[in-house]
């Protein structure tokens, strides 16, 4: 059973940090104002808007980004930590993460995409986190409900989801601990001490911008690592902008049918229940998931997902 951070209340401080890619102030204005409008105080990390180019535009050097995340996690005046964006760079920080004060006073960490590796780290240490929209909204936008549901979790209320059926679903009723996030990062952590523990878990995956052969390669790696013999169920979220560039529809489809078929074919030999087209990922309707929560998943003519502490 994972530790759930305590609920936050009006007036509490929410740290905003950039643990991976760089971000411009204009890209966060709406998100910061939203936090204020909800009655909370946004506290900006020292290097939130720093840019360091080294083959990629990072939000500062590794040391600068590590300084910000360790401050946010361990400062007792901070009640929650919200990533500005993903991109690439969170893996750089794993070796230097410090949870000394955080362990005494756990707080919610919110993010997705590259932030999956931070959430895997927290999960390994026994702490739940929120896989959800970052402060920066991408070109495909984000629904108001997606943000509202994050604030519900922060205030102690767990969401309940009911979904229409997908042709690729595999029916079944299961309970288990939810793990996962961005497939590319789950794949990147395989074989390291920071990888998720897959045994008896319900795995969530989502991704964006991968060629179909790359998607299959990642699924093959999970299969070769024995992941599919360990998990109790699989949830497949957004598969956005997948395939060759010439065939891209540029975010017109949140759930790529061929990507779903590829995943379905790859896991067809396994008997665990599977739900496709879950509204979480690099999509507009990006509803939060609680990584580390025990969930009840029922997949039939309709799908329901309920969270339990």
With beta carbons less than 8 A apart as the criterion, state whether 111 and 69 touch. no
pLDDT of residue 309: 76
pTM of the model: 0.96
Report the side by side order of strands in the sheet with 289-291.
Answer: 41-44, 13-17, 78-83, 108-111, 129-131, 289-291
pLDDT of residue 43: 98
pLDDT of residue 238: 95
CB atoms within 10 A of CB 209: 13
pLDDT tens-digit series, residues 38-86: 999 999 999 999 999 999 999 999 999 999 999 999 999 999 999 999 9
CA 38 to chain centre: 22
Report the side by side order of strands in the sheet with 172-182.
Answer: 160-164, 302-308, 294-299, 172-182, 201-208, 233-240, 274-275
pLDDT tens-digit series, residues 91-124: 999 999 999 999 999 999 999 999 999 999 999 9
DSSP 27: G
| Catalytic residue IDs | 113, 206, 282
- Domains of the chain (ranges; CATH) run 13-154 (3.40.50.10740), 160-282+292-308 (3.50.30.60)
Listed in sequence order, the DSSP H helices in the chain are 29-37, 62-74, 116-124, 144-154, 183-189, 212-224, 227-230, 257-266
The per-residue pLDDT of the chain, averaged, comes to 95
pLDDT of residue 75: 98
Give the separation between CA 238 and CA 259, rounded to whole angstroms: 10
pLDDT of residue 245: 53
Report, as ranges of residue numbers, the positions in the chain whose pLDDT lies below 70.
139, 245-253
Would you tell me the crossing angle of helices 212-224 and 257-266 to the nearest 10 degrees? 20
**Can you say whether the dihedral through the CA atoms of 155, 160, 166, 168 is positive or negative?**
positive
């Amino acid at each position: 059973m994972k530790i759930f951070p305590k609920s936050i209340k009006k007036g509490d401080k929410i740290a905003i940090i950039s643990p991976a890619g760089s971000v411009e102030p204009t890209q966060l204005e709406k998100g910061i104002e939203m936090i204020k409008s909800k009655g909370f105080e946004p506290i900006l990390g020292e290097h939130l808007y720093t840019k360091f180019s080294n083959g990629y535009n990072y939000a500062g050097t590794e040391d600068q980004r590590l300084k910000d995340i360790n401050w946010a996690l361990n400062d007792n005046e901070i009640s929650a930590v919200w990533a500005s964006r993903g991109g690439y760079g969170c893996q750089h920080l794993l070796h230097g993460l410090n949870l000394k004060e955080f362990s005494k006073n756990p707080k919610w960490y919110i993010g997705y995409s590259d932030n999956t590796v931070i959430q895997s780290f927290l999960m390994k240490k026994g702490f739940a986190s929120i896989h959800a929209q970052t402060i920066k909204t991408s070109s495909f936008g984000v629904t108001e409900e997606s943000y509202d549901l994050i604030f519900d979790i922060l205030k102690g209320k767990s969401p309940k989801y009911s979904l229409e059926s997908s042709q690729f679903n595999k029916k079944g009723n299961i309970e288990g601990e939810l793990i996962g996030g961005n497939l590319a990062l789950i794949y990147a952590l395989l074989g390291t001490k920071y990888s998720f523990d897959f045994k008896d878990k319900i795995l969530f995956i989502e991704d964006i911008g991968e060629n179909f052969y790359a998607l299959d390669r990642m699924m093959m790696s999970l299969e070769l690592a024995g992941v599919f013999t360990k998990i109790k169920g699989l949830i497949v979220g957004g598969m956005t902008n997948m395939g060759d560039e010439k065939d891209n529809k540029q975010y017109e489809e949140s759930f790529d049918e061929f990507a779903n078929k590829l995943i379905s074919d790859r896991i067809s030999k396994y008997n665990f229940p599977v739900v496709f087209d879950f509204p979480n990922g690099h999509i507009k309707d990006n509803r939060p998931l609680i990584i580390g929560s025990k969930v009840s998943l029922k997949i039939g003519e309709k799908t329901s997902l309920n969270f339990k502490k």
